Structure 1
Amino acid sequence: MAHGEVLEFEEYVRIRQDALLRSARRLVPDPVDAQDLLQTALVRTYGRWDGIADKRLADAYLRRVMINTRTEWWRARKLEEVPTEQLPDASVDDSTEQHADRALLMDILKVLAPKQRSVVVLRHWEQMSTEETAAALGMSAGTVKSTLHRALARLREELESRGYEGRALEPGKAGRDKAGKERERCAA
């Protein structure tokens, strides 16, 4: 890679690292794993940086690398989880409602399959359209819609099983139910 390309990549990482880490944090629940995920994605992207003709698409490229990497990790993991009927309560150190809601959302996202979690993260946290999500994940728009519908239904079931059926939760904002409106739209 030419010296100019290296400097361009370093500048890109310096500017976008916080946003990219937030994306990684939404894909994997553990903050340390999120940092590892981003670092791995950056290393993989660095090797292909000169091949990205339109650098405005670098975020989308990196998100896709993070999703693929997370999927590789998920497939390679040893099955150490034991399925149970009742999930343990999530412990929350911060007492504010917003932090509690965020912790709850991050916890219930664990029940989703990686593909479902990717669709939910890209559609609701990254605010990508159905078409953008489909392009980022390499699937059809219809598959994105059906996957999102099933994922939101699964999240709703999980919330109800935890006694939250009356509360509205939205990624990033407590108290407003954008996700609920999306569920109603998908259900129609």
Structure 2
Amino acid sequence: MSQIPFYPNSKDNTSCYPACLRMVLKHFLPAKNFSMKSLNKIVAKKKGLWTWPMHGLISLKKMGFDIEYYEDFDYLKFAQEGEKYLIKKYGKKVGQAQIDNSDITYERKAAAHFTKTFKFYQKAPTLKDLKRLIRKGYLAGCSCNYYALYDKKGYSGHFVLVFDINDKHVYFHDPGRPARPNQKRTLKQFINAWAYPDKNATSIQAFKL
């Protein structure tokens, strides 16, 4: 059983990202309390829509967190091309789901600002990267396909917090819904959800204080 704090997703099932950041903050800053309302401000969440990472990363960086962010995503191209870039990058199914669940005009502006203020590794991370970061004491937030994570068909963008990994399994908190703390998946099961729709779609947001 992990000692990492756990918090569930919101009732509308659109706050997996701020819920994971809330876990990170409580773990590294146990004396402080962060409500979901405060987390929504930190990540600049749009009500009823999926949360993009730019504001959250910048906010935690300002709070003093050591952050290693890996993703093969061109924020400048997205800022310039918007929906076109998402479809080209992820394909019609995944790209359209992101478009339908985002305020693209707002996120394009945020992406343009992000490119000027935050340095990250523009590459798709591997399990080797994930193992290295966990061993160094980071908590690793990972984007994934919610359905594939539980061996189901379909697609829904999701975010979980990985706190351990070995040669057979990945261990993580899943804010849901439904809320699923202390989950374990085989490496293959995790990769199927993490590397979706392809191996270049993996990402890691690793946090340490």
TM-score (norm 1): 0.27
Higher helix residue share: 1
Q: Which has the higher contact order (CA 8 A, sep 6+)?
A: 2
